[in-house]
Amino acid sequence: MHTVVVGTSGVTASDVLAVARDGARIELSGEAVAALAAAREIVDALAAKPEPVYGVSTGFGALASRHISPELRAQLQRNIVRSHAAGMGPHVEREVVRALMFLRLKTVCSGHTGVRPEVAQTMADILNAGITPVVHEYGSLGCSGDLAPLSHCALTLMGEGDAEGPDGVVRPAGELLAAHGITPVELREKEGLALLNGTDGMLGMLVMALADLETLYKSADVTAALSLEALLGTDKVLAPELHAIRPHPGQGASAANMLAVLKGSELTGHHQDDAPRVQDAYSVRCAPQVAGAGRDTLAHAHTVAERELASAVDNPVVLPDGRVESNGNFHGAPVAYVLDFLAIAAADLGSIAERRTDRLLDKNRSHGLPPFLADDAGVDSGLMIAQYTQAALVSEMKRLAVPASADSIPSSAMQEDHVSMGWSAARKLRTAVNNLARIVAIELYAATRAIELRAGLTPAPASQAVIAAVRAAGVQGPGPDRFLAPDLEAADAFVRAGGVVTAVEPVTGPLA
């Protein structure tokens, strides 16, 4: 099994995906263990002094003015975890919780938190054992980081609360730790707070959304090309010299992908009558511009994610010169903004895909295709209601595009008076990404059927490869009406698994 080594300088997106989705094992580097021990010495020295130090010998948030005596400090750390583990609602997905824990471990190992090495090792042991704390949908305002979700994870370290075992069964965390020979942690000064203060949940969901969207944007370029082909559109608008004079990188990449898919097609540029179109509709002609803008948004979000993955997010932080200083680095605004930006871009990509699908089904605009791509229109309804489903998904996408990060609701007796709502932005983006996959799948379903209905003209080799692959995946072709939902589900699974890209690239070469 792949092993991810966590050091002091952060982790990569591929590390997060390996741990969250593939169950990679985790090891702490010698450098990280040394940094943990050195920072702990600083915290222990400050804890022994009579002067109060925030997070070490004081209360938290609006209660930071109280100096806590040494005999109560272990209780203080336990209490902050227990009291902050106040989430409600459905359980969050396993991959999200694993990313959340792993990214908190990443910051702990930076040597800026003051956590003992044994606490970090226990976090790694829990992840390696396949134990997943139960984290709930609601509870985070994205400042001070994802407090409630991280608290539920810290509760598991203490052997309290509930967790899911590697078998998927939820049991008391203490039982699961005991079954895997893991000793619960007894928290000391600073440690409870250090386990809670971070943007780890929203960051983990950003990293996974970016990975999914990379595949979906390539798939959407392919389905847009298939729709153009099925509509007998022109590929001249994809010429590289046209995109060079408006040099947005994403636009050029999308146009190049579409042109590669359409190479060798006998359908492009043909017309069913003697009144050739001067121009294709915007949803066809402007596909690279819209998808390209989304790709550039992805590039910006990647930059933000890489910076955050290299960050040590905690409050207070231990500095190499021995100071322990309060700060505001836990605020989720940088991550929240791009999460919302991605939801906007995904909604627009879904919207333009639905417009192409609708055009394929409308006999007045499809240039010779049967109404609704039906076998016997009137007796058969064809894909009429598949487009309804796609339209419903697009409408939901538009609601999900309303930014969460523009909101703020004060908390902690007005101490935390401006919050990021980044967790909420991440949660709605996950729904948006799932919906986008379904929207692309429906366009794929309609476009492949439409191309097969164009008798006498040979589609591009890349198009033929996609059609063959999607049929092999159990998505049926043209014919009389049948139970449609299984076909749509199979198309959705094909898109999510990267089947579109996998089918095309042997013909086109790697897509941009």
Residue positions annotated with a catalytic role: 54
Around Cβ 468, how many Cβ atoms within 10 Å?
A: 12
Instruction: State the DSSP code for 275.
Output: S
Spatial CA neighbour of 432 closest among 342, 316, 327, 324: 342
**What's the rounded Cα separation, in Å, for the pair 265 and 510?**
19
In what helix (H) or strand (E) does residue 346 lie, and over which residues does it extend? helix 333-361
Q: How far apart (Å, rounded) are the C-alpha atoms in residues 509 and 259?
A: 12
List the beta strands (DSSP E) in 294-446: 317-318, 324-325
How far apart CA 412 and CA 432 sit, in angstroms, is: 31
- Name which of 94, 96, 318 is nearest 197 in CA terms: 318
Q: Which residue has the tokens 């042991």?
A: 125
β-pairing, 162-164 with 132-133? Answer: antiparallel
- Beta strand spans in 165-285 (E): 170-172
Phi, psi of 463 (to 5 degrees): -65, -45
**Cα gap 487→473, rounded to integer Å:** 10
CB–CB of 330/261 below 8 Å? no
Q: What's 279's DSSP letter? A: S
CA distance 235 to 239: 7
**From CA 101, how far away is CA 6, in angstroms rounded?**
13
Distance CA(390)–CA(180), nearest Å, equals 46
Ranges of beta strands (E only) in 24-161 are 25-28, 88-91, 132-133, 136-138
User: Sign (positive/negative) of CA torsion 71, 121, 136, 334?
Assistant: positive
Three-state SS letters, 183-200: CCCCCCCCHHHHCCCECH
b/e sequence 162-195, b meaning 16+ C-beta within 10 Å: bbbbeeeeeeebbebbeeeebeebebbbbbbbbb
Which backbone phi and psi does 22 adopt, to 5 degrees? -105, 0
Q: What is the 3-state composition of the chain as percent helix, strand, coil, each rounded to the nearest 5?
A: 55, 5, 35
CB 448 within 8 Å of CB 467: yes
